[in-house]
């Protein structure tokens, strides 16, 4: 059995001070770094997923409902898109970064692609701010994991009740044994986190540790 770690959306805009900051996000970033320092050898691959918004249409709104629309966040070439400083150095050594949501809403890391055969940091960005994406070269996360021989994954990151949940559910649906390491996640609210945990558990996701929610 080959095992991978998926780090989801540990970006400045999703941590304290960001446009969609989640309480505990900075602590999660630091804890993920410590987890990698201690447990990196347990994983055959480590990948990251990240929001990578250029013009996602109705996903952004000046009057968001926080269900289907949100304040602008993680725009390409802004500080908000970058990985949080507490985890950025640790993520320099990941096997691939999968960008999602360039031109539409995207929650699951399995919607993300890299354009370079699974090495480096994925989509390049031109001067005009639009990713130079070759559909011929783009690799979806699920395909990349299968090509790497991965059969099971641990999912960590932000937010438990949104992109972590979506990523874990897609991992199970695509046939990967899936755990969410709750000590390495942060949720938006106790209510939505509780619902997300129930949904993941029902789908067959193994939940390890204790959830954090503001």
List, by residue number, the catalytic residues: 9, 100, 163
Tokens of 102: 């360039």
Q: Pairing mode, if any, of strands 139-140 and 113-114?
A: antiparallel
* Cα–Cα dist 209/205, whole Å: 13
For 5, the 3-state DSSP assignment is strand
The DSSP annotation for 110-123 comes to GG-EESSTT-TT--
In the block, residue with structure tokens 């602590």: 27
Contact 90, 37 (CB under 8 A): yes
Q: Pairing mode, if any, of strands 206-208 and 177-186?
A: parallel
Among candidate residues 146, 205, 198, 183, the one with its CA nearest the CA of residue 24: 183
Contact 13, 81 (CB under 8 A): yes
Contact 184, 160 (CB under 8 A): no
């Amino acid at each position: 059995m080959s095992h991978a770690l998926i780090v989801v959306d540990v970006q400045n805009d999703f941590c304290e001070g960001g446009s969609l900051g989640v309480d505990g996000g900075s602590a999660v970033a630091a804890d993920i770094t410590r987890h990698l320092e201690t447990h990196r050898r347990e994983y055959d691959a480590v990948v990251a997923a990240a929001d990578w918004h250029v013009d996602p249409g109705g996903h952004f709104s000046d009057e968001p409902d926080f269900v289907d629309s949100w304040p602008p966040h993680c725009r390409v070439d802004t500080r908000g898109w970058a990985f949080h400083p507490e985890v950025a150095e640790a993520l320099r050594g990941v096997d691939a970064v999968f960008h999602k949501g360039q031109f539409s809403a995207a929650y699951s890391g399995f919607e993300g692609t890299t354009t370079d055969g699974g090495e480096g940091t994925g989509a390049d960005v031109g001067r005009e701010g639009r990713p130079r994406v070759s559909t011929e070269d783009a690799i979806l996360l699920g395909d990349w994991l299968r090509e790497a021989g991965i059969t099971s994954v641990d999912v960590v990151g932000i937010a438990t009740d949104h992109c972590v949940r979506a990523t874990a559910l897609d991992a199970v649906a695509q046939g990967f044994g899936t755990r969410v390491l709750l000590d390495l996640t942060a949720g938006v609210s106790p209510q939505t986190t509780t619902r997300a945990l129930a949904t993941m558990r029902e789908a067959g996701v193994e939940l390890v540790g204790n959830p954090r929610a503001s």
